[in-house]
Chains A and B, each alone.
Chain A
Amino acid sequence: MHNFYDEVILDHNAHPQYFNELKNPDLVLQAVNASCGDKFEIRLKLKDKIITEASFKGNGCAVSKASTDILLDKILGKSLDEAKAFCESFLSAVHSGDFSALSGDICALEGASKMPARVKCATLSWQTILNS
């Protein structure tokens, strides 16, 4: 079995950088996977259409929590449209299993693409941003 509980996932799960509740957010999104009980509220602050601050709060498995933390780190400094395009490229990497165009912590989520039962966990928040 592919072990995707590597150090990067474990660290983002146990010590997430963005796991708090931003005050006065400009955008509040609900990331919900009813079938496994994952539920996060993502909050974003925008300045001149650029995402300047981000947070998330809620409950989910290690994969969904780590994935959300990685996502928020990656979209800071991007416009919402740029963030959506980025999410789209990640989702397509998960579905194709080809992570060659991606780099950094995000590659720790590659294991999820090999386990159909965990794809939803890895993509929940990314899909939420894309659908916003």
Chain B
Amino acid sequence: MKESFPELDFQRKKGNFYYFDSAATTLKPASVIKAVSDYYSQDNANTRRGFYPLALNADKICEGIREKVRKFIGAKYITECIFTHGATEGLNILAQSIAKSFLKADDEVIISQLEHHSSLLPWRETGAKIKILPCSLETGEIRPEDFKKLISSKSKVLVLTPDSNVIGRTKNFEKLVKIAKEHELIIVADCAQAVAHQRLDLDKSGIDFAAFSGHKMYAEMGIGVLYGRQELLEKMQPQLYGGEMVEDVLNINNIQLAELPYRFEAGTINLGGIVSLGAAIDFMKGIDLEPLSKTLKVILANNPYLKLIGEPEGPIVSFQLEDIHPHDVAQILASDGICVRAGYHCAQPLLEEIGPVTRVSLGVHNTEEDIEYLAKKLATIRQRMGYA
């Protein structure tokens, strides 16, 4: 698998390079880079605007990949897959559009404490009343009984990620979705991490709206997908207006929106990014990070000074090392050629109590040898910082 990533080769010619920051952005496979290069070398044209063969071919490429995305995330209809520039844009569009279309004054939005700022802060701007659904950092659990207690007759939306960018898989996710359904809440899921772990089956999952980025699943930066159930999207107003999202502009007060999904894709879409997304989906077929994720936890747990946060499951693991600030851990590891992330990870409400953490996240290029090297270097840090 390592040979699939030119950046690994390039960096390793300069020295040690162990990349454990796929949750921030994945390395890019050669097949994705080639697909994008081929597109710009041979097929570049704007979509839904031209009558010449090149433009028609661009439409074909775009819709072919939209269908590929639909299958990949388990959406029912192709019209439910909207191309955006990334998860943050998608989550902002969703918050604004859902608030305007479905919420009344005093309605409540229940948001899990696990959420990334991108999934939390857009709701603050809607004026809706926000209730935070707590998560234990000891067990990593959101308790269904806590959720039930929070729900009132004013509750209309649950915002809950299937995979946290700090503590990995969200425990009790299915149970929480079931409770939300029983109370007829709209479910919005930030799937930025879950999509990279190939865990999405959106139509069956009960999730009503989702958003993710391409760059955390081996595609380019600047491309993303917003998913919404067709029956709900049909009732919603777009947040971005511009070219190709209207069927007709009779006059400034009388416009007819384009059909789904185009009414939510104002302006020129990033077809180069969409091509990369298609190539990334092909690349990801058959990849399973689960065995390596288990190995990571077993090896890290051998360090007596290291505390894993929230009994993590999946390829994202955060920890604190006794006496050593996470920024120091990350910087010392960097001097050994190891790339990890440290801090609050844009999830400050989750980490407020325990402070910053160091995060290790796996990608398909990682191996057991990589993890052993990481563990070996982690074991030296306290001594290097002057602690016994």
Q: How large is the interface on A (under 10, 10 to 19, 20 to 34, 35 or more residues)?
A: 20 to 34
Which one, A14, A36, A121, contacts B385 given CB within 8 A? A14
CB distance B343 to A35 under 8 Å?
A: yes
Q: Which residue of B lies closest to A4 (CB)?
A: B331
CB distance A61 to B328 under 8 Å?
A: yes
Q: Which residue of B lies closest to A62 (CB)?
A: B328
Q: Which residue of B lies closest to A34 (CB)?
A: B348
> Total contacts A to B, CB within 8 angstroms?
47
Give the chain B neighbours of A36 by CB distance below 8 A. Answer: 327, 343-344, 356
CB distance A37 to B328 under 8 Å?
A: no
Task: Knowing A13-B385, A14-B385 are in contact, say whether A118-B327 is a contact too (CB < 8 A).
Answer: yes
CB distance B385 to A10 under 8 Å?
A: yes
A59 contacts the other chain (CB 8 A):
yes
Give the chain B neighbours of A63 by CB distance below 8 A. Answer: 327-328
Interface residues of B in 305-325 (CB under 8 A from A): 324-325
Q: Give the distance to chain A from B120, nearest Cβ to Cβ, in Å.
A: 16
A1 contacts the other chain (CB 8 A):
yes
CB distance A62 to B325 under 8 Å?
A: yes
Which one, B324, B335, B355, B386, contacts A37 given CB within 8 A? B355
Write the B71-96 contact mask toward A (1 if CB under 8 angstroms, else 0).
Answer: 00000000000000000000000000
CB distance B387 to A1 under 8 Å?
A: no
Give the chain A neighbours of B348 by CB distance below 8 A. Answer: 34
Q: Give the distance to chain B from A105, nearest Cβ to Cβ, in Å.
A: 15
Write the A104-132 contact mask toward B (1 if CB under 8 angstroms, else 0).
Answer: 00000000000001100100000000000
Give the chain A neighbours of B384 by CB distance below 8 A. Answer: 5
Q: How far, in angstroms, from A53 to B305 measured CA to CA in the complex? A: 35
Write the B348-388 contact mask toward A (1 if CB under 8 angstroms, else 0).
Answer: 10000001100000000000000000000000000011110
Q: How far, in angstroms, from A14 to B325 measured CA to CA in the complex? A: 12
Q: How far, in angstroms, from A117 to B384 measured CA to CA in the complex? A: 21
Give the chain A neighbours of B327 by CB distance below 8 A. Answer: 36, 61, 63, 117-118, 121
Ordered nearest first, which 8 A-B pairs have the shortest CB separation?
A61-B325, A14-B386, A37-B356, A10-B386, A61-B327, A37-B355, A62-B328, A1-B335
With A61-B326, A118-B327 already in contact, 6 other A-B pairs whose C-beta atoms are closer than 8 Å: A3-B335, A5-B385, A13-B386, A36-B356, A37-B325, A63-B328
